[in-house]
Chains A and B, each alone.
Chain A
Amino acid sequence: DVLMTQSPLSLPVTLGQPASISCRSSQSLVFGDGNTYLNWFQQRPGQSPRRLIYKVSNRDSGVPDRFSGSGSGTDFTLKISRVEAEDVGIYYCMQGTQWPFTFGQGTRLEIK
């Protein structure tokens, strides 16, 4: 199985400051069609996960533009340009390239 490793696991951030989460995969996530199926999800307390980013850097509809994704191959990053109170939650990267699909351990973002 592809191992997804996130860091940090805990991320205290001051409101209005930037935040960055790293995700590394144990194998390349480039699929045979040339796409890289790396997704980012946000899970607020008591809610279902919500997808923020798909295929490394594509923002889902309704996702604020302060969220951005980047990376390639095995190394990926989610950035929040200016953290807002509503961003509190757990963030997961997830690979959809090789079955079984796998998630990172999650990064808990909290307001400092």
Chain B
Amino acid sequence: QVQLVQSGAEVKEPGASVKVSCQASGYTFTDFYIHWVRQAPGQGLECMGWVNPNTGGTNYAQKFQGRVTLTRDTSITTAYMDMSGLTSDDTAVYFCMRGSHRVSVAGPVGDYWGQGTLVSVSS
């Protein structure tokens, strides 16, 4: 069965960086995009960016450009979201989500989600 398993909760100070992992299993990792979605406390869902596990190609929502880096390690079928310059506004649950088949980023995304990783930013 398809699973996306994320790393555990993090507590960071303002200005620090955080790296969240998302390990995929149950399907061919390089066949599907991985997206990252953020949800601040009590708020809605916001797409941050995607990585193509096959090519390593990435794209980011403008809001996160320059502060977020998405990578992957195909040998361990894991995607990573690295965010720098954390502020209290970055306190949120971060989800990875399976995207469409590698032919195109557009498509029927979101059939599988990770369990979410809470990142808390506080001094």
Please list the residues of chain A having a beta carbon within 8 angstroms of any beta carbon in chain B: 31, 33, 35, 37, 39, 41, 43, 48-51, 54-55, 58, 60, 92, 94, 96-106
Contacts and interface: CB of A to CB of B under 8 A. Distances in A.
Given A48-B95, A102-B47, A96 B111 contact: no
A51 B105 contact: no
Contacts of A39: 108-110
Contact of A105 (B44, B111, B115): B44
Contact of A96 (B95, B107, B114, B116): B107
A35 B106 CA distance: 10
Given A96-B100, A99-B105, A51 B111 contact: yes
Given A37-B106, A37-B107, 13 more contacts: A35-B107, A41-B110, A48-B95, A48-B113, A51-B111, A55-B108, A60-B111, A96-B107, A96-B109, A96-B110, A99-B106, A101-B35, A105-B44
Nearest to A49: B113
Contact of B108 (A37, A41, A50, A100): A37
Q: Is the interface of A mostly helix, strand, loop or mixed?
A: loop
Instruction: Please indicate which of the listed interface residues A43, A99, A102, A103 has the most CB atoms of chain B within 10 Å of its own CB.
Output: A99
Is the interface on chain B under 10, 10 to 19, 20 to 34, or 35 or more residues? 20 to 34
A50 B116 CA distance: 13
A99 B35 CA distance: 11
Given A48-B95, A48-B115, A96 B45 contact: no
Interface in B5-64: 35, 44-47, 50, 59, 61-62
Nearest to B111: A51
Interface string B99-123: 0100011111111011110000000
Most buried by A among B35, B47, B62, B100: B47
Contacts of A103: 44-47
